[in-house]
């Protein structure tokens, strides 16, 4: 982790696994099963989490859950529109579906807002819910996660880093401080 000092490890591999299991059960419970349910993971770690949650739900419900990847870059409010290509991979219709957006960390709410914009351009879901492994607070928009692995109050100067085996070689969540 270049120029970043780890202050604390918040979740280890077992804690992440338990959080994913809990979120998957909460999703199926609140949606009364997996009928018309689909998961959309936000690139990149949200997509990994979405696949893990989909696998847990499929094992419990006995049916595959359509899972896609959403690249929110073209829908961000801090980038010039039209310059970014959309690398999303959603090969199913979301119209009339119960869509759960999956992200690793919810912070200001701007990523979730961009994800909603991206989804609405692809169809009109029956409802959209949001799941995040970590909720660190500091919202700038009136957005909240429906499913949370862990609430983690932080200062704005701290960074929360989610590391997953598929992208980083290990499963853990740490709080970091940037070093100058």
Whole-prediction pTM: 0.92
**Distance (Å, rounded) from C-alpha 21 to C-alpha 65?**
15
Residue 176 pairs in a beta bridge with 6, 159
Q: What share of the chain is helix, strand, coil (3-state, %, to 5)?
A: 30, 30, 40
pLDDT at 5: 85
Name the pLDDT band for 85 (thresholds 50, 70, 90).
Answer: low
pLDDT at 110: 95
C-alpha 117: how far from chain center: 15
Q: pLDDT tens digits for 35-59?
A: 999 999 999 899 999 999 999 999 9
Helix (H) or strand (E) holding 101: strand 98-106
pLDDT at 106: 97
Q: pLDDT tens digits for 119-150?
A: 999 999 999 999 999 999 999 999 999 999 99
């Amino acid at each position: 982790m270049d120029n970043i000092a780890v202050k604390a490890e918040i979740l280890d591999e077992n804690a992440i696994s338990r959080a994913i299991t809990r979120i998957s059960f909460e999703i199926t419970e609140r949606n009364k099963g997996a009928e018309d349910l689909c998961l959309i993971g936000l690139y990149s770690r949200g997509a990994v989490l979405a696949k893990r949650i989909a696998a847990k739900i499929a094992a419990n419900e006995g049916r595959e859950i359509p899972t896609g990847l959403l690249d929110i870059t073209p829908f961000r409010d801090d980038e010039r529109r039209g310059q970014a290509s959309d690398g999303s991979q959603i090969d199913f219709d979301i119209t009339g579906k119960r869509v759960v957006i999956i992200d690793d960390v919810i912070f200001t709410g701007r990523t979730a807002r961009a994800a909603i914009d991206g989804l609405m351009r692809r169809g009109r879901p029956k409802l959209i819910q949001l799941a995040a492994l970590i909720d660190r607070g500091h919202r700038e928009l009136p957005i909240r996660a429906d499913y949370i692995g862990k609430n983690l109050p932080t200062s704005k100067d701290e960074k929360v880093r989610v590391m997953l085996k598929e992208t980083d070689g290990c499963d853990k969540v740490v709080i970091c401080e940037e070093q100058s």
